Amino acid sequence: MPTQVDGFILTRQWIKAVGQDANAAAQQVINDIAATLVRNAEQHNPPQSQLSHSIVSNLSAATADNSSATESEIEDRAIRADMATADWFRDAYAFFEDRLAEAFRGVHGLQIYKGRDALARLETLLKSPLTIQRHHANQPIWWWSGRGNMSIDGFKVLDDVRLWCLMSRYELLINTVAVFRTNKSYRSFVYVSVDADQPTGVSGITPEQIHDDIQEYGFSTEYVGFWNGRYVKGEEYEDGFAELDGKVVKLSNAESRTRYLSAYNFFLATQASAFSASENDEAVDNLCQSLLKGKLTIAQAVDDIGALPFSGHFNSLRLWMD
């Protein structure tokens, strides 16, 4: 599958190669690559979709007016495209590092938290705002499991006794929070494990279905709607109407919720980290499964996570910023 990194490399090489005669052709190549990147990224890897838009925009600017540009000017424009993307990297790293410093102040290396302390530190890490406005409100902190990687658009504590919280639309019963901090923020991460919750009772999911889900996917979830303090079926949420207490009601301002009915785990890291490389999804999934099954401790996993490779141009930009 093409990634925005592949497109970045190919397009940058094209900018340098076409010289003075093919600005229109270069722009068409960018457009073609952009369409492929966004289509594949949206289907397979949402983090790459956001970066694709930004990178393609930078590259489009880099090819402007190439018809009268000298070779050195073309090279300079390509470098500026690199720098614009590197600026995004720096801002994402800085955002994540600031949050780590506030939530896990004074901690270096690995530290593990349980109970209310774990929940409180997670609340600090993921407090509002979770966007970088000057980069079109991109979200620099994502959660990664290899099985599904997503941005985080909100966090709130639902019950600090049960250690129950809502991250985006996912209900979580926090078991463990672990942080690994290094002087390279692109290698720092937070690990979260959650306990199994009970079904809401509205979807009719059975213990047998939960068991089958765990056997097939490694975890089980319940998808429902939430309106006026009450749960409704996921299908009712999507229709916008539900029958409650014998009456059909319109679910104005309802929200979707996903509840984990089995133990689950994931990592939190900057969007511009090795976790975002799609070729690492299988390795991250294997790490999560091994941690979940007790075959591996988070202390043992640190080296494996640190060895995750960066994709092509991500790596060269990262080295340039060091």
pLDDT of residue 309: 87
CB neighbour list of residue 318: distance below 8 Å, 6 or more residues apart:
89, 186, 310
Please give the pLDDT value at position 32.
55
Q: Are 240 and 259 in contact (CB under 8 A)?
A: no
pLDDT at position 59 is 52
Residue 20, pLDDT score? 39
Please state the length of the chain. 322
Q: Torsions phi, psi of 248, nearest 5?
A: -85, 125
pLDDT tens track, the chain, 322 positions:
333 344 444 444 444 444 434 455 555 555 555 555 545 444 444 444 445 555 555 555 555 555 556 666 655 555 555 555 667 777 888 899 999 999 999 999 999 999 999 999 999 999 999 988 775 557 889 999 998 889 999 999 999 999 999 999 999 999 999 999 998 878 899 999 999 999 999 999 999 999 999 999 999 999 999 999 999 999 999 999 999 999 999 999 999 999 999 999 999 998 878 898 888 999 999 999 999 999 999 999 999 999 998 765 455 555 544 5
pLDDT at 47: 46
**Where exactly are the structural domains of the chain?**
4-91, 200-260
Give CA torsion, residues 91, 93, 95, 99, to 10 deg: -170
pLDDT of residue 272: 78
pTM: 0.76
The gap from C-alpha 230 to its chain's centroid, in whole angstroms, comes to: 29
Query: Are 33 and 41 contacting, i.e. CB atoms less than 8 angstroms apart?
Result: no
